[in-house]
Amino acid sequence: MAFSVQRVGQFLGARADRIAVGHYPAGEPQVITLVWNGSQVKHTQWFLLPDGDLFPTELHSQAGGPELAVAAFSELRLVSVHRSGPAGALKFEAWKTGGSFELSDDAPGPADRDPEIVTFGADPGILPFRLHAGIKAVAAASKTTAPLAAATGSPGTQPPETSLPAGNKAVKQTFTPGKLAATLAAKVGYALVVSRTPANRLRVSVWGFDNGGDVKVLAGKYVEADGGPATAVSVAKVKEHWGQGPRLEGVEVVTAARGENQVLRLQRWRVNVGDQDTPVSIQLLSEHTAAETITQVSAVPVVALNGTQAATAVRLADGALKVIGWRMNADGSMSRWAEATGGTITSVSAAAVRGRTIVTALREADGRLKTSYWRFPADISGTLEHRGDAVEGPVSFEVQCAHVPAEGTDLGDTVVATQSESGKLQLFRYQVTDT
């Protein structure tokens, strides 16, 4: 059965050379964008109003460079990555959000490209306020509002770290949080960042950041691992591991890369967060090299088969779209699942919708923007179904998407961020219903 996909809102803004978009996992329907306009990096929050409008609030603007990524830990915590200048190294930033937008801390990173972020851990809900519940109604009535309080804060210091052996796939953490981290364990958030090194290798790094409270844990890198040759990278979170307490024990992710000979390579990793006596570590559980030769890849989680699996949306060497599901086996290995192909494209981005459904945002060969919805089967032998599309006029090369889920037959809202033909930021908002 087809989905109903309706464009309910759009926005055309100023110059946008590079774009990243992410959604908040709870609370008011909203997304956040990072945009680089050739000199400045802008953080903007977008409320998805009931009338279909996209209501922007610019949160922060600073000098910086491209290679953008953003992910929300909760309504009150956000992490982002961008270059410190047009050709500078990456900078990891942890932000406090809510009633104000404030820099909690930042830390320097490597001069990598193509970063993506997944966050993990508990939200302790330390701060006593949430995003103002009435802001949607106020914004809808007036279409104007004062911006959130200006971003404040001072950069932190990067703890010393040891050099990583070439090709190492499991490395001890680079600094020890000690008793402070043990005391504030519930207040520390984690982010896993994948990126492509200057030598075209996959880097998997784990970062910690302050998650509230009176004592600040500075943003900094705990550990990293090398995933081998890569000229395109992506990541999907598939499982968090919790012990008694509850206490976070670790997380599992799947990285997807364009590896040696330009073929699709997947790796399944487990991050063990440790405690005051055990350092953070990364363990490679398994890897799988597919037959497909690709140019681009986007990885997303899929909730199915009594757990969370993974999916990759790739642009094949001949330009065609291919969506592939991957099962996470109990022994740590991965197996191919359902798959389907699409038309010729020049760019692809994917996002999880809810349960077995994902969305792909595509720039087709003729330049048109196409947003497509796919549902994976409920068993290992079923078929991946193409459930619906929305097609817009020509856009430029950059296409990114995020989805804000809902409940019941209302599958929520997809926001696609792209460049207009004139190089300006362009957003499209779609409401999706399972009919």
Confidence of residue 260 (pLDDT cuts 50, 70, 90): very high
Spatial separation of the C-alpha atoms in residues 231 and 233, rounded to whole Å: 7
**What is the distance, to the nearest Å, from the Cα of residue 244 to the centroid of all Cα atoms in its chain?**
28
Question: Cα–Cα distance between 377 and 374 in angstroms, integer?
Answer: 10
Q: What percent of the chain has pLDDT over 70?
A: 82
Q: Quick one: 153 exposed, middle or buried, by C-beta within 10 A (0-12, 13-18, 19+)?
A: middle
**Cα–Cα separations (whole angstroms), residue 93 to 43, 69, 414:** 12, 10, 26
Q: Check whether 150 has a pLDDT greater than 90.
A: no
Percent of the chain scoring above 90 in pLDDT = 69
Q: Are 90 and 195 a contacting pair, CB within 8 Å?
A: yes
For 117-135, what is each residue's pLDDT tens digit? 999 986 533 332 222 233 3
CATH architecture under which domain 3-434 falls: 7 Propeller (2.130)
Q: Order across the sheet with 307-316: list the strands.
A: 233-243, 247-258, 263-272, 281-304, 307-316, 320-328, 334-354, 357-364, 368-375, 385-394
Taking alpha carbons only, the member of 335, 297, 338, 288 closest to residue 316 is 297
Q: How many CB atoms lie within 10 A of CB 78?
A: 27
Residue ranges with strand state E in 198-319: 201-210, 220-229, 233-243, 247-258, 263-272, 281-304, 307-316
Q: Could you tell me the end-to-end alpha-carbon distance of the chain, in angstroms, rounded to an integer? A: 7
**Residue of 345, 369, 348 whose CA lies nearest to 420:** 369
**Average pLDDT for 219-245:** 92
Has residue 23 got a pLDDT over 80? yes
Place of tokens 């919708």: 353
pLDDT in tens, 324-350: 999 999 999 999 999 999 999 999 999
Distance in angstroms (rounded) separating the CA atoms of residues 103 and 124: 19
Exposure string (b/e) for 295-328, b if CB count within 10 Å is 16 or more? bbbbbbbbebbeebbbbbbbbbeeeebbbbbbbb
Closest C-alpha among 253, 205, 261, 251 to residue 230: 261
Closest CA to 152 of 91, 88, 99: 99
Return the ∠ at Cα 23 (arms to 20 and 25), rounded to 5°.
Answer: 150
Is residue 155 pLDDT above 80, yes or no? Answer: no
Burial of 101 by CB count in 10 Å (0-12 exposed, 13-18 middle, 19+ buried)? Answer: buried
* Identity of the residue numbered 166: A
Nearest CA among 74, 102, 66 for reference residue 187: 74
- DSSP three-state, residue 141: helix
Return the closest-CA partner of residue 73 out of 94, 56, 57, 103.
Answer: 94
Residue 321 tokens, joined = 């779209």
**pLDDT confidence of residue 106:** 87
Q: Is the dihedral of CA 137, 212, 157, 67 positive or negative?
A: negative
- pLDDT for 388: 97
Confidence at residue 240, expressed as pLDDT on a 0 to 100 scale: 93
